A and B are shown apart, each in its own frame.
Chain A
């Protein structure tokens, strides 16, 4: 059974139109992460939540925001998507921040901007 679920798997949005990607987890993990993976590139961490504490990576554009209303759900909001934001967006969870706990990834949402 999937433990980290991302919806939808594929999302098409218009240039400049706000879009929200969803991630849910059944693991009751404290930490949730969002990674951006552009075509043929490595995943790149955008931000993470430790419980309700939001932590932005220094080079994450302001266009990207996140919400975590409860332990199970985390959302990625792209306020004004540009063509360069087309990518696979991966959600991950871990029990803790330390590397002694494994990170579990969802299947990703592939975002297309038209």
Chain B
């Protein structure tokens, strides 16, 4: 069975602070995919990143960075110099390789960035 745990229910930071959202996953598959999605108040899920299990390189995209560590089954997401527009619910998700878009989501982390 696949499972994603986001232990942080809610995080509040002040603008310009860095913040890390934790994600721990469980799977018996050797090939799998990990995702992060952002859900702003408008409701739609916005794709942020996809990482396959064979690629442990960390990734940076602007103020966003992701740290994938297979040894600890973690796929953490850091926002540098947070902004009010980053306020949203962030979901980490996992999928099997052959059904890559059938996503198992974590419970989500509410991020509140205050000015």
Contacts and interface: CB of A to CB of B under 8 A. Distances in A.
Interface of A: 4, 9, 31, 33, 40-45, 48, 88, 90, 92, 94, 96-108, 110
B109 to A, nearest CB: 11
Chain A: interface secondary structure? loop
Main secondary structure of the interface of B (DSSP, over half): loop
Interface in B2-56: 4, 33, 37, 42-47, 50, 52
30 contacts: A31-B101, A41-B107, A41-B108, A42-B4, A42-B91, A42-B105, A42-B106, A42-B107, A43-B91, A43-B105, A48-B102, A88-B43, A90-B44, A90-B45, A92-B45, A92-B101, A96-B101, A97-B101, A98-B99, A99-B33, A99-B100, A100-B100, A101-B101, A102-B50, A103-B47, A103-B101, A104-B47, A105-B37, A105-B45, A108-B43
Interface of B: 4, 33, 37, 42-47, 50, 52, 91, 95, 97-108
Contacts of A90: 43-45
A98 B98 contact: yes
A90 B97 CA distance: 22
Contact of B52 (A88, A94, A99, A105): A99
